[in-house]
Amino acid sequence: MILTPMRYKNYIWPHNPETYTISFERSVAAKKIPFGRYGMQDLGLTYRVMRGEGVFAGEGAYDEFKRLASVFYQGGAGVLVHPVWQTSRAYFVELELMQEPLRNYVRYRFAFWEESPQTVRLVRTTQSASASGGQGRYYTVVRGDTLWGIARRYGVSLSRLIAANPQIKNPNYIVVGERVRLP
């Protein structure tokens, strides 16, 4: 079976790396509740980590590694086309020489981080009339939200956000679907 060559941004590997691994991360928060128990909150998937090892061998092997390193130094996300994994936008976060490089042989290790589609947070605000006839803005909590994150997203201080929401008894614990008034 012939595999597609691995590509990232404008770099194409002359031959695919020897090993590949992929790991998934899930963020979970624990909250102590009365009588010695704990409540768990699934904050969702974070990002996938894609790692591998390979060699460049033959004439110009070290020059090939330097071309790969120049892509690493560019920074920012890019499209990663991998022979086994699905195509995705990822960050090139690690490039390591595993031994002293030779002109004709270089062993290296790499890592890419891809944000999981589940970690994309949808920002939903609604307008509604308050009891005094004025307009109010509300945000509906989604998985992974914190009051601090909501305050930062809307450019208000955490103390103002807490003051505008007296119904929230514990600012460290908000529930998916809860409506938060934005000051």
Helix (H, G, I), strand (E, B) or coil at 58: coil
Q: How far is CA 89 from CA 47, 129, 145, 163, in A?
A: 11, 41, 23, 39
The answer to whether residue 20 is domain-embedded is yes
**Nearest 10 degrees: CA dihedral of 145, 149, 153, 154?**
100
Q: For the chain, what is the mean pLDDT?
A: 83
Rounded Cα distance, 150 and 174, in Å? 11
In this structure, are 107 and 135 located in the same domain? no
Q: What is the pLDDT of residue 117?
A: 53
Q: How far is CA 76 from CA 3, 8, 101, 181, in A?
A: 27, 12, 26, 35
- Judge if pTM exceeds 0.85: no
In this structure, are 17 and 83 located in the same domain? yes
CATH of the domain at 170: 3.10.350.10
Residue position matching structure tokens 């938060």? 180
The answer to whether residue 27 is domain-embedded is yes
In 3D, which of 84, 10, 2, 4 has the Cα closest to residue 51? 84
CATH of the domain at 51: 2.40.30.200
The answer to whether residue 2 is domain-embedded is no
- pLDDT tens sequence across 112-155: 998 655 434 444 455 544 444 445 788 888 888 888 889 888 88
Q: What is the pLDDT of residue 116?
A: 57
Q: What percent of the chain has pLDDT over 90?
A: 34
In this structure, are 139 and 109 located in the same domain? no
Rounded Cα distance, 156 and 147, in Å? 11
Rounded Cα distance, 91 and 9, in Å? 10
In 3D, which of 42, 23, 28, 53 has the Cα closest to residue 113? 23
Residue 82: what are its φ and ψ, rounded to 5°?
-120, 145
Residues 30 and 38: beta-carbon distance below 8 Å: yes
Q: What is the mean pLDDT of residues 13-40?
A: 84
- pLDDT tens sequence across 160-176: 999 999 998 888 888 88
Q: What percent of the chain has pLDDT over 70?
A: 88
